[in-house]
Amino acid sequence: MSIHFEELWEKCEQLQKESSKEGSESSIVDELMMKLNLYQVIGEKSELSAADHEKIKSRTIGEILLTLTGLSYKDNINVFEALNVAMQYRTLESYTKK
């Protein structure tokens, strides 16, 4: 069974809502920073095989995204709209630099 990304995001937000560890905004941001640091460390590991490296980075990105659903749920953020606006601003910045 395949679902759309939006549905997956909403399911993850629901999981965050039902989670017994629904934390404060500050604790969610701390968790996100820890996972981002982990992602950076993984990127620097050269002793991993390419396949293991890819698997570990993919799993870590998944954990980062799941943590972001905690923030979007907590602050009631429309992530589609937020990402769309960010992309529009970035696109404008890119065009003005050319």
How far is residue 36 from each of residues 18, 30, 41, 57, 88, measured CA to CA in Å? 24, 10, 9, 11, 25
Section 15-39 average pLDDT: 88
Q: Which domain range does residue 60 map to?
A: 5-97
Q: Is the confidence at residue 40, as pLDDT, over 90?
A: yes
How many domains does the chain contain in total? 1
What is the average pLDDT value for the chain, to the nearest integer?
90
Say if residues 36 and 61 touch (Cβ distance below 8 Å): no
Say if residues 36 and 72 touch (Cβ distance below 8 Å): no
CA distance 31 to 63: 10
pTM, entire model: 0.85
